[in-house]
Chains A and B, each alone.
Chain A
Amino acid sequence: MAINLQNIQWKLHLDESTVGTPHEWFRAFAPWIPDSPEVFVDVADYSHVEDGPVVFLSGHNVCYSLDATGRRNGLLYERRQPAEGTNPEKLEESFTALLKHAALLETDPEFKVKPKFLVHDVKFIVNNRGIAPNNDETLAAVKPELSALLDKVYGAGAYTLTREQDKRQRFMVHIKANAPVAVNEALKKFE
């Protein structure tokens, strides 16, 4: 089974003691709209709900959010428009975009306490039940290309991959590396 990966999502978890307030995230995201070369449209505040988005930056190609789905906070990268290229290219492009934006947030002056991202604790999601049902077959199809990327970030085999077992959830892989990695360190692996 071959999958043309689309609607890729990555969630980079946060050290919960550094999450900050929704207002800080709102203030951090808002200037991305006029200042970024990417097309962003608006910021939405969902801090009144639980187990979902907290602050959502809507974009044309990609959306970012402070996301508390699964009751863990993290930065969510969400590809909206169809992505071109091979699967390894799409995986690398999306993952490095996530890291670059995390790096921006780690130094953003809007935060009293700087957010600290846990690069060793990541979720990979294919947000499309039509092309990627949440089953072992999809995992088998995706694993080689996903592992190639993760080998580069964490070192060969220095991590575990666990597929989400709730059948109603999207295809989701929990990735835990054996050792912590800083955002900038991870980015350097792709230079």
Chain B
Amino acid sequence: MTTTNKQELYTSDAAKYWKEALSDKLPAEWRVNVDEFESDIALKKRGKIEHKLFAETRLRMGAYGQRYDNGKRYDGKEVRRVPFPEEFKGPDTYWDAPGMERIKLPWGGLTADQMDLFADLAEEYSDGICHITTRQAIQLHYIHIENCPSMFRRLGALNITTREACGNAVRNVSADPRAGVNPDEAFDVTPYAQALFEFLLGHPDAQDFGRKFKIALSGDEAGASGLVNIHDLGLIATIKDGKRGFKYYVGGGLGAVPYAAKLFSDFVPEEEILPLAQAVCRIYGRFGEKKKRHRARIKFLIADMGWEKFRETVIAERAILPHDDRWSSYIKDIGKFEEKPLKPAGKKLAPTGDQEYDFWVSTNVSAQKQEGYSAVIVTLPLGDITSNQMRALADVARKYVKDTVRTVVEQNLILRWVSNDDIPAVYRELKKLGLALPGAESILDVTACPGTDTCKLGVSSSRGLAGELRARLYKKGPELHEAVRALRIKVSGCFNSCSHHHIADIGFYGISRNVGGYVVPHFQLMLGGQFENNGGAFGIGTGGVPSKAVPAVVERLTEQFVAQRNDGEKFRDWVERTGKATIMQGLQDLLEVPAYESDKSYYVDWGDVREYSVKDKGIGECAGEVVTLTDFGLKAADRELFDAQLKFEKDGPAGVAAAGTMAYRAMVLAAQGLLKEKHPYISEEPELVMETFTKDFHDTGIFHDPFAGPKFYQYYQQAHAHKGAGLDKEKVQHFLHEAQLFVEAAHSCYARASLAEPAEKAEG
């Protein structure tokens, strides 16, 4: 066993100080975790741990990489090296490069003291910003890995752990932020979320997953609540014959291809939820994919195993689990989660005539099930709050509600148990802090993942776009039609859906397009997802939109919706009734990218000053547009896929069958399009295209996504086996997403190849 001199572990006087001051304030097991992580840092610095192993070790403590940590940054003209010292914290990840720390907050719970601590940590180790995530965690960016042990000790002393916040583990257990005060809930799910968190944290049966595992709990079925439908494991509270239990769902997830969770049981009694979760974890750990990351989530295990067999296997596993007292011991302590108001109940709220205040109340304040109290949402633009704001908000909490603050999946904070009589005073205090933005849970409150700002996977600037949309929508504010105000917009920087774009009325994810020799930032438009019903339905891919045209597209869509909707018609219903072809036709004039020479703004992403990427070549000597066979091929693939999606939506069972075949053809066309640069006369014959594509683009690694690797090629390979035929409706729906991703990957590959191409060759 390798040993280290403990005295040399401290990376600074401050690290030594925090260790000495706080070690005995951490739960024993957490203290050991942090001590071990500190030793791992020391060992890594001495070259005693390999990069890959250290990477997984730090991920399991929530310490992620961040954009440019591979030391490469595109400056608008070329990729330049960021000259970090030659030490690494993972494969191709520089030791000194800023990283991101994700901090789990089970069910989003925050005390005022914890808020003060987050303010301090953001100042000392980050950039003075706390970022609320779409899974109720808090992220700090620009963190140095050597500051992590001190940070973990300071968090641990206030009962927060980062363990298993990332990596192939059970992630943050999220829950309805109104749990306990939601008028529509069966009962408060908070104690059960806490029990699942405590039981599964570090549990031996939850340590051997091929990918992450997300859990959510909801008190009611109809609201957005916990978004159970999009989680690996989801529980909805229900009461049967006077007994508490849960509707138990397994296998949901967004990511590139969204899967709806399946109902495992319509009633699992409260004492059974932990052992059943343990059994699910065991089966996932035992049979889940470990090598192919893109097939490693539990949703794929279920798809491969078949639902009935999966269910039977879990039930059989549950039957042989050795008894654990913890399965039910927490139930006697459920009462301790009952919150007490700080102030007496107030009177019913009524309009005051102050338009600004009344608008804020209408969007940010909701009645609790306890009469005289309200839950107040503090809207945080892009999920960000500064250290001083966080500290001041902690004081507001102390004054009006004490410790009943929670994070919200729409990247906000919520103050629960505000006496109705205090609502005006709370508003005034929030306003002083710059935290009284109206528009919570509406189209104004655009959700965005970090995107190209800090995420290594980002393709387009989700935060930049979301910021622009927010600014424009806020200008209209109360004037927006009620039906439009109720919509949700969610923007992801890539297909991975961290903003939950699949369940937005209007969702976007970042893609790129090659236009006239330049790579132009775009977003894929997704329409008609459903946030309510726990994320009840997924939107449909509608087409690529140039980033700079997105605000105009949103404006046009919302105008058309208001003008064309039937009485009371919901956006999703309008989208289905109108059809994507008609909707896209109505947007056509906005989708054209102006020539580089006439409007360069389209070639720069939102929130950036660099040209998105420029191919160093001019216009060919024929002075026409540079349109290659590949351009035509990819366009044909886009069109085929678009038509496939229409068939799926409109033409019943026959349409579903046709959609599968057409989606496969779209993949062949995309592959053929890429091949045409080298093989201009290659036919459409599927076997030949597959074989040549595999040789030229897969075996060489050219097609592999910089981050997802061969994932999209594998979609093509799998599709080649079935060719889109003989699939049921659910499988065709998934297949359409996979085909979309493959075609997008073909566009990206083409864009990368264009960028890499020397100017001379391109000209020639």
CA gap between A26 and B461 in the complex, in Å: 15
CB-CB under 8 A for A34 and B80, given A6-B12, A48-B467, A49-B381: yes
Please determine whether A51 and B434 come into contact, CB atoms closer than 8 angstroms.
Answer: yes
Q: Does A82 contact B12, Cβ atoms closer than 8 Å?
A: yes
Which B residues lie within 8 Å of A46 (CB)? 127, 129, 384, 386
B94-118 interface bits toward A, Cβ cutoff 8 Å, 1 = contact, 0 = none: 0011100000000000000000100
Given the interface contacts A4-B13, A42-B73, A51-B434, does A80 sit within 8 Å of B124 by beta carbon?
no
Is A152 located at the chain interface by the 8 A CB criterion? no
Q: For A189, list chain B residues within 8 Å (CB).
A: none
Question: Given known contacts A30-B609, A48-B381, is B124 in contact with A170 (CB within 8 Å)?
Answer: yes
Chain B residues whose CB sits within 8 angstroms of the CB of A85 once the complex forms: none
Please report which residues of chain A, range 32-75, place their CB below 8 angstroms from some CB of chain B when the two chains form the complex.
Answer: 33-34, 39, 41-42, 44-46, 48-53, 56, 58, 60, 63, 65, 67, 69-70
| Contact of B389 with A52 in the complex, beta carbons under 8 Å | yes
Identify which of residues 699-751 in chain B touch chain A, using a CB-to-CB cut-off of 8 Å. none
Question: Which residue of the partner chain B has the closest CB to A70?
Answer: B388
Establish whether residues A50 and B389, one from each chain, have CB atoms under 8 Å apart when the complex forms. Answer: yes
Q: When the two chains form their complex, are residues B14 and A45 in contact, meaning their CB atoms are under 8 A apart?
A: no
- Determine whether A147 belongs to the interface, using a CB cutoff of 8 Å to chain B: no
Q: Of A30, A50, A70, which one neighbours B434 at CB under 8 angstroms? A: A50
- Per-position binary interface string of chain A over residues 111-134, scored 1 when its CB falls under 8 Å from any chain B CB and 0 otherwise: 000000000000000011111000
- A30-B391 CB under 8 A given contacts A41-B82, A50-B434, A129-B124: no
Given contacts A69-B386, A129-B124, contact A42 B129 (CB under 8 A): no
Given the complex, which residues of A lie within 8 Å of B392, measured CB to CB?
A: 51
Whole-angstrom CA separation of A63 from B142 in the bound complex: 10
Chain A, residue nearest B94 (CB)? A60
Residues of B within 8 A of A26 (CB): 609
B128 touches A6 (CB 8 A): no
Instruction: Return the chain A residue nearest B381 by Cβ.
Output: A48
- A34-B80, A48-B470 in contact; A130/B17 too (CB < 8 A)? yes
Q: Shortest beta-carbon distance, B431 to chain A, in Å?
A: 11
Residues from chain A with a CB closer than 8 A to the CB of B434 are 49-51
A188 is an interface residue with CB less than 8 A from chain B? no
Q: In whole angstroms, how far apart are the Cα atoms of A65 and B126 in the complex?
A: 13
A63 CB contact (under 8 Å) in B96, B127, B389, B391: B127
Number of A-B residue pairs, CB cutoff 8 Å, is 112
Identify which of B67, B387, B464, B610 contacts A52 (C-beta below 8 A): B387
Which of A26, A48, A82 has the largest count of B CB atoms less than 10 A from its CB? A48
What residue in chain A is nearest B606 (Cβ atoms)? A45
Contact A48 B386 (CB under 8 A): no
Q: Is the CB of B14 within 8 A of A30?
A: no
Asked if B120 is an interface residue, CB under 8 A from chain A, the answer is yes
Q: Which residue of B lies closest to A76 (CB)?
A: B128
Q: Total interface residues on A, using CB and 8 Å?
A: 38
Smallest beta-carbon distance A155→chain B, Å: 32
Check A52 against B129 for contact (C-beta < 8 Å).
yes
User: Which residues of chain A have C-beta atoms less than 8 A from B97's C-beta?
Assistant: 41
Known A34-B75, A42-B68, A56-B127; judge A48-B80 contact (CB<8 A).
Answer: no
Interface size class of B (residues with CB under 8 A): 35 or more
The answer to whether A41 and B127 have CB atoms under 8 Å apart is no
Most chain A C-beta atoms within 10 Å of own C-beta, residue among B80, B381, B392: B381
Q: Is the CB of B386 within 8 A of A50?
A: yes
Main secondary structure of the interface of A (DSSP, over half): loop
Let me know if B609 and A130 touch, CB within 8 A.
no
Within 8 A of A (CB), among B264-298: none
Given A44-B453, A58-B142, CB of A49 within 8 Å of CB of B129: yes
Residues of A within 8 A of B98 (CB): 41, 58
Chain A hits for B80, CB < 8 A:
34
Could you tell me if B75 and A128 are in contact, using CB atoms closer than 8 angstroms? Answer: no
Compute how far the CA of A33 lies from the CA of B76 in the bound complex, rounded to whole angstroms.
12
Give per-residue flags for B605-625: 1 if the beta carbon is below 8 A from chain A beta carbons, else 0.
Answer: 001011000000000000000
Instruction: Verify B386–A52 contact, CB threshold 8 A.
Output: yes
Q: A53-B128, A53-B386, A69-B386 are in contact. Are A127 and B123 (CB under 8 A)?
A: yes
Query: A130, B389: Cβ atoms under 8 Å?
Result: no
CA distance A80 to B98 in the complex (A): 10
Distance in angstroms from B75 CB to nearest chain A CB is: 5
Chain B positions within 8 Å of A45 at CB level? 464, 467, 607
Q: Are A6 and B610 in contact (CB under 8 A)?
A: no
Asked if A7 is at the interface (CB within 8 A of a chain B CB), the reply is yes
- A42 and B610 CA atoms in complex are apart in Å by 11
Interface residues of B in 475-495 (CB under 8 A from A): none
Q: Which of A26, A41, A46, A128 has the most chain B CB atoms closer than 10 A to its own CB?
A: A41
Q: Chain A: which residue is nearest B380 at the CB level?
A: A49
Contacts of B470 in A (CB 8 A): 48
Would you call B391 and A168 a contact (CB within 8 A)?
yes
Pairwise interchain contact A49-B13, C-beta atoms closer than 8 A: no
B119 cross-chain contacts in A, Cβ below 8 A: 168
B179 beta carbon closer than 8 Å to chain A: no
- A27 interfacial by beta-carbon distance below 8 Å: yes
Chain B residues near A129: list those with CB within 8 A: 14, 120, 124
Q: A23's closest neighbor in chain B, by CB?
A: B609
| B15 is an interface residue with CB less than 8 A from chain A | yes
Query: Is residue B321 contacting chain A, with contact meaning CB distance below 8 A?
Result: no
What residues of chain B lie closer than 8 Å to A39, measured between beta carbons? 82-84
* In the assembled complex, B311 has its CB within 8 A of some CB on chain A: no
Q: Which residues of B contact A70 (CB under 8 A)?
A: 388
Give Cα A67 to B387, complex, Å.
12
Report yes or no: A49 in contact with B12, Cβ–Cβ below 8 A. no
The docked-state distance in angstroms from the alpha carbon of A157 to that of B260 is 70
Distance, CA A70 to CA B433, complexed state (A): 11
Residues of chain B within 8 A of A7, CB atoms compared:
14, 124
Assess the A69–B14 pair: CB atoms within 8 A.
no
Chain B residue numbers with a CB within 8 Å of A41 are 68, 73, 82, 97-98
Instruction: Confirm or deny: B18 has a beta carbon within 8 angstroms of a beta carbon on chain A.
Output: yes
Complex: A26 Cα to B128 Cα, angstroms: 18
Provide the bound-state CA to CA distance between A4 and B150, in Å: 18
B144 within 8 A of A: yes
Task: Check A130–B386 contact: CB distance below 8 A.
Answer: no
Whether the Cβ atoms of B18 and A49 lie closer than 8 Å is no
Min distance, Cβ A56 to any Cβ of chain B, angstroms: 5
CA–CA, A26 and B453, complex, Å:
13
How far in angstroms is the closest Cβ of chain A from B229?
Answer: 30
Q: Are B384's CB and A48's CB within 8 A?
A: yes
In the assembled complex, the Cα of A33 lies from the Cα of B124 at a distance in Å of 23
Is B382 close to A, CB under 8 A? yes
* List of B residues within 8 angstroms of A49 by Cβ: 129, 381, 384-386, 389, 434
Within 8 A of A (CB), among B136-155: 141-142, 144, 150
Given A26-B609, A34-B80, does the pair A127, B389 have CB atoms closer than 8 Å?
no
List the B side residues contacting A170 at CB < 8 Å: 123-124
B330, chain A: closest CB distance, angstroms? 35
- Point out the residue from A42, A51, A63, A128 that lies within 8 Å of B386, measured CB to CB: A51
Q: How far is the CA of A7 from the CA of B96 in the complex (A)?
A: 16
Question: In the assembled complex, how far is the CB of residue B249 from the closest CB belonging to chain A, in whole angstroms?
Answer: 36
Complex A-B, nearest 7 residue pairs according to Cβ-Cβ distance, in ascending order: A52-B386, A130-B14, A50-B434, A48-B381, A130-B17, A51-B388, A34-B75
- Apart from A41-B97, A48-B467, A60-B84: 20 A-B pairs, beta carbons within 8 A: A6-B13, A7-B124, A33-B73, A34-B75, A48-B384, A48-B470, A50-B386, A50-B389, A51-B386, A51-B434, A52-B128, A58-B98, A69-B387, A127-B124, A128-B14, A129-B120, A129-B124, A130-B150, A131-B14, A168-B120
Contact residues of A with B, CB < 8 Å?
4, 6-7, 26-27, 30, 33-34, 39, 41-42, 44-46, 48-53, 56, 58, 60, 63, 65, 67, 69-70, 80-82, 127-131, 168, 170
Chain B positions within 8 Å of A, measured between CB atoms, are 12-15, 17-18, 67-68, 73, 75, 80, 82-84, 96-98, 116, 119-120, 123-124, 127-129, 141-142, 144, 150, 381-382, 384-389, 391-392, 433-434, 453-454, 464, 467, 470, 607, 609-610
7 CB < 8 A contacts A-B: A6-B12, A46-B384, A48-B381, A50-B386, A53-B129, A53-B386, A69-B128
